Structure 1
Amino acid sequence: MLRLSEIRAVHESVDEDWRSPVADAVAGAWMLPPGAARWWRSSATHVFVVPGPPRHYLRFAPAGSPAAARLRRGADLAAAFPVTTGLSVSAPVSTTSGARTPTIDTPAGPMVAMLVEDATGDAVVAESLTREQAHRWGAALACFHGAAPVVDAGRSRLDASDPELTTALADIEERLERLDPRVHRRVTLHGDFELDNLRLPEHGVTVFDLDETRAGWAAEDVALATRDLRGEEGAPALSHLFDAFVAGYRSSAPFSDAELDAVPLHALAHSARRASDSGTLDEGARATDPGWQRELHASITEANQWHRQAVLAHAIRPAAS
């Protein structure tokens, strides 16, 4: 996620009609007129919508930031993704000069940006998901793993600088390192194959937002994709849909019982990253900060605390290997 200071810098430029001179500067790289892009949200990147038809999304992040590096990596993967039965990937739209992710000077500093056409299909949420849709979702992730080109980025080690978390993080790292690649498959991960990054057309699945892509374990991507089904952050567990997701995955690619058993470990590693995140919340805790920023700070803090408690519970009662 972007730092709260980075979100504020753009948020303060947005007017009552959701326009922004920052977005106007970025949109100009695609010859879009001022005011064409309207603010949608700011989270992993700043996202502005360009009404259609067809509708497009303009996404950008501060040049030199981790978010900008991820955006470029995801755009490159999307552009190189092969045609795959049952899975469509929304590719970036190049500028007139042929750039996919240009760096553009804006009133908020240089930004790395991309433009992508809206994905076809219906948006769905976990609460309204059917077993058939969950099965199709799982099969699509298996297709992604089977077709995705190799990427150089890999997993960084967990930050063990927090003394309260040291024991649990060391155990999680040790268990991850003991995974046997003869049993646990290594793939190119999507990294965020959740429902809000998918659309379900009549057949197959359309996926977008490949910013979190890297090399990793197939079971890790299953854990990251199914957070809404497994009860993370207090959401109700939807085990019947998780089972349908796994069945869908297995209909298109191997997924061993050992990999299925490792899903909680990968989920715990995700919680460890959230629990030790110290970079996002650089603003928003002061009484003088804007109300929306204080609310966002509180929301992220609450979610991170849930993940912290999950890690601390592991430190008290380590899970079986």
Structure 2
Amino acid sequence: MMKLSTMKKVLKTVDSEWRSPLAEQILSRWGYDQGSVFYLRASANFIFIFKKDGRTYYLRFNESCEREHHAIEAEINIILYLGNNSLNVAQPVKSLNEKYLEVVETGIGTYYAVVFEALEGDQYEIEEITTEQNYLWGKSLGKLHKCLKNIPEQYYVYRSDWKDHLLKVKETLPSHETAAHRELERISKWADSLKVTKENFGLIHYDFELDNVVFNNYLIGMLDFDDCSSYWYVADIIYALRDVGDFSMNSPIIIKFIEGYKTETTIDIDLLKESSGYERLHKLVSFAKLIRTVDIEESQENPEWLTNLRKKLCHKINEYRLSFEENS
């Protein structure tokens, strides 16, 4: 998630009808139907929905301090590769300047912007999906991993891996977060001990939860590869199923998901049994991100949405902190 100060600055440009002159300024690089640009959400990215020539698209942008230009270029190259290999991945759209990635200077900062085509279909919550959809969800991740196992080495450049993530944790954690520092030492040693092979380790989506999956009958669409990193493939399975709760091989949802996954590619069951380690690694990375995110003090001058969001994030930080203390 981005810094709250960045979110506050940009959302200040969004009016009561969810329109933003900033988004429209950025979208002038692509063109859009007048009156069609609306704010959708903000988390790791700002997302706006819009139409051009009657077709639906999504604008995604970040302030330059939030993302590295070359990392976004690398993400786009991976997405194009996947699309060229018959995966149903939301594709980037070239601007009027024939660029996939535009750098836009504005009065409130420099922004990196990409436009994506909209995929047809519907999205669901975990409690809404059918057994068949659960199976297809797992199958689509297996198909993605099957393709990524053969992706050329050049596509790994400028994409982070688990070591980079833990290094960022170390750089971000305040010295007084002693329990988190001890957890960092434990997780680093654990991850270093895991085997790494071409079949069990490589680029993963990292966030294949249902909010990044679109169901169109038997065709599954995939969204948001901005966190694509080098990890063990089983981590992608475990992270995708976070809303199920603690990972258990006895869960009917997890069993069906893995059943679908295995129709497309192999799975390292021994590594899958290390699920608690991957969950702890993810919590540690998320904890550090949230500490960076909450960069605004509590104040009566903050808008209500910001006060509520800050409270929610601080509560999550405390939950993570308690879990690290329990592991000590």
TM-score, normalised by the number of residues in structure 2: 0.87
Aligned to 2:107: 107
Kindly indicate whether the alpha-carbon contact (under 8 Å) linking 1:20 and 1:35 is maintained by their aligned counterparts in 2. no
SS in structure 2 opposite 1:98?
coil
Task: Name the counterpart of 1:74.
Answer: 75
* 1:1-321 mapped onto 2 (5 Å cutoff): 1-32=1-32, 35-51=35-51, 53-66=54-67, 71-84=72-85, 87-148=87-148, 149=151, 150-152=155-157, 153=159, 154-155=161-162, 156=164, 157=166, 158-159=169-170, 161=175, 162-182=177-197, 185-231=200-246, 239-277=251-289, 278-283=291-296, 285-315=298-328
Supply the distance in 1 between the matched residues of 2:98 and 2:288 (Cα, whole angstroms).
Answer: 39
Residue-by-residue CA offset, 1:25-78 (whole Å, 9 max, x unaligned): 111000225543111111111111104743111110012423766544432321
Instruction: Tell me how far apart the structure 2 counterparts of residues 169 and 187 of structure 1 sit (CA, whole Å).
Output: 22
Query: In the alignment, residue 278 of structure 2 is paired with which amino acid?
Result: H
Give unmatched runs, 5+ long, in structure 2.
none
**Please, which moves more after superposition, 67-76 or 156-165?**
67-76
Kindly indicate whether the alpha-carbon contact (under 8 Å) linking 2:32 and 2:51 is maintained by their aligned counterparts in 1: no
Distance verdict in 2 for CA 1:15–1:64, change over 3 Å: same
- The SS at the match of 1:258 is helix
Structure 1 position 309, deviation (Å):
2.5
2:33–2:51: 8 Å Cα contact kept in structure 1? no
- Whether the 8 Å CA contact 1:185–1:218 is kept in 2: the answer is yes
Q: Deviations over 1:270-297 (max 9, x none)?
A: 1112233321001152232221111011
Deviations 1:212-261 (A, max 9, x none): 011111011112111111259xxxx9921122112211221111221211
Overall identity of the aligned pairs, in %: 22
Deviates more, 1:183-192 or 1:120-129: 183-192
- Which letter maps to 1:163? T
Cα distance in 1, alignment partners of residues 292 and 133 from structure 2 = 36
The letter of the residue matching 2:210 is L
SS in 2 for 1:180: coil
* In 2: Cα distance, 1:105 partner to 1:36 partner: 22
The one-letter code matched in structure 2 to 1:207 is M
- The answer (yes or no) to whether the contact 2:83–2:91 under 8 Å persists in 1 is no
Cα offset for 1:4? 0.5
Decide whether the 8 Å contact of 2:239 with 2:279 is kept in 1.
yes
Name structure 1 gaps, 5 residues minimum. 316-321
Aligned length: 310
Deviation at 1:312, TM superposition (A): 2.5
CA contact (8 A) 1:125 1:195 kept: yes
Give 1:82 shift.
4.3
Q: Distance in 2 between matches of 1:43 and 1:169?
A: 25
Superposition deviation, residue 310 in structure 1 = 2.6
- Matched position secondary structure for 1:215: strand
How far apart, CA to CA, are the structure 2 residues paired with 1:180 and 1:243?
24
Q: CA separation in 1, counterparts of 2:193 and 2:41?
A: 39
- CA-based RMSD: 2.3
Q: CA deviation at 1:118?
A: 1.2
SS at match of 1:144: helix
Tell me the TM-score normalized by structure 1.
0.89
Point out the more displaced range, 185-194 or 306-315: 306-315
CA contact (8 A) 1:219 1:262 kept: no
**SS class of match (1:165):** helix
Instruction: Rate the CA distance shift 1:238–1:40 in 2: closer, same or farther, 3 A.
Output: farther
Secondary structure of the residue aligned to 2:28 is helix
For the 8 Å contact 2:200–2:268, the answer to whether it is kept is: no
